[in-house]
């Protein structure tokens, strides 16, 4: 793979003290492409995407986005470059209402230079109803919402602003089956619009049907990187857990 890709990560290492969380991972995302990033607890999935979006800095390795080497030091920098990420643990700001959360950092202003609250109310409600999320008012504080509703808002927000790359870390964790299905439908739509996504999940059954390529991390190393059509779901499931037959994995790396 090369710099022609939207995202190109080369030999990424990350240490947390003695813990070697990423051990030389190469990771690419094409345009448009949906990459399913899977692996067991502690495999390094969140660490890798936090390195990509500037929450962490890799200890070693290079990240290229749209053909340029990048060293993002904050998530705001990656956002400005065109990468929107929804983290597993910090999807929304607790003390703000829905419309404020929806526009976080991208608030529209009116002709007086003040927040355009009317536009914020309208657009946030439209975004949520497009996803099939029924919320009574954009003025509700997110503290009053369920986990699933919060995740839904974070996803609707990411989908509303057309980013080049959207990273979703366990997006359906707290969602009902119906809401999860909707999220995956949206991911398909993103791709039809020429956007790319990284989809992180434990649930290979959910990710497999919507991904163009499957990447498996285990103990900080990439052990599978294959077009979806070239790898069976059962093979991926086995690789995630590890154990017998590991010596046969070599052919599943690009």
Residues that bind ligand ATP (CB under 6 A): 16, 19, 21, 39, 41-47, 88, 202
Cβ nearer to ligand ATP, comparing 42 with 82: 42
Q: What is the β-pairing status of strands 196-201 and 165-169? A: parallel
Q: How far apart are CA 199 and CA 79, in angstroms?
A: 17
Q: Which does 42 bind (CB under 5 to 8 A by kind): ligand ATP, Mg ion, none?
A: ligand ATP
Point out the residue whose Cβ comes nearest to Mg ion. 46
Cβ nearer to Mg ion, comparing 167 with 231: 167
Tell me how far CA of residue 232 lies from CA of 28, 194, 252, in angstroms.
21, 26, 11
Cβ nearer to ligand ATP, comparing 82 with 242: 242
Cβ nearer to Mg ion, comparing 44 with 152: 44
Q: Which does 44 bind (CB under 5 to 8 A by kind): ligand ATP, Mg ion, none?
A: ligand ATP
Least spacing, CB of residue 15 vs ligand ATP, in Å: 9
Q: How far apart are CA 39 and CA 201, in angstroms?
A: 7
Residues with Cβ within 8 Å of 33's Cβ and at least 6 positions away in sequence, in order, are 6, 191, 196, 212, 213
Return phi, psi of residue 218, to 5°: -145, 130
Least spacing, CB of residue 42 vs Mg ion, in Å: 8
Least spacing, CB of residue 116 vs ligand ATP, in Å: 37
Least spacing, CB of residue 216 vs ligand ATP, in Å: 11
Q: How far apart are CA 237 and CA 233, in angstroms?
A: 6
SS3 158: helix
Q: What are residue 162's DSSP bridge partners?
A: none
Cβ nearer to ligand ATP, comparing 39 with 138: 39
Could you list the residues that contact Mg ion (CB under 5 A)? 46
């Amino acid at each position: 793979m090369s710099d022609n890709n939207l995202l190109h990560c080369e030999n990424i290492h990350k240490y947390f003290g003695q813990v070697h969380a990423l051990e030389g991972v190469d990771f690419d995302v094409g345009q448009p492409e949906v990459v399913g990033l899977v692996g067991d607890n502690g495999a390094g999935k969140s660490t890798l995407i936090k390195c990509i979006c500037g929450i962490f800095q890799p200890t070693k390795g290079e990240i290229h986005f749209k053909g340029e080497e990048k060293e993002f030091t904050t998530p705001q920098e990656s956002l400005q470059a065109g990468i929107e990420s929804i983290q597993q643990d910090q999807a929304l700001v607790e003390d703000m209402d829905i419309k404020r959360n929806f526009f976080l950092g991208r608030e529209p202003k009116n002709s007086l230079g003040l927040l355009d609250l009317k536009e914020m109310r309208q657009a946030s409600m439209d975004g949520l109803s497009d996803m099939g999320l029924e919320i009574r008012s954009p003025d509700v504080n997110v503290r009053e919402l369920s986990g699933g509703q919060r995740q839904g808002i974070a996803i609707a927000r990411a989908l509303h602003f057309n980013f080049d790359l959207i990273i979703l870390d366990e997006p359906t964790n707290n969602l009902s089956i119906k809401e999860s299905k909707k999220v995956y439908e949206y991911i398909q739509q993103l791709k039809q619009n020429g956007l790319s996504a990284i989809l992180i999940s434990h649930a290979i059954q959910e990710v497999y049907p919507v991904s163009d390529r499957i990447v498996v991390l285990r103990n900080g190393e990439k052990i599978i990187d294959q077009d979806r059509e070239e790898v069976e779901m059962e093979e991926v499931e086995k690789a995630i857990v590890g154990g017998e037959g590991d010596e046969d994995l070599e052919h599943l790396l690009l």
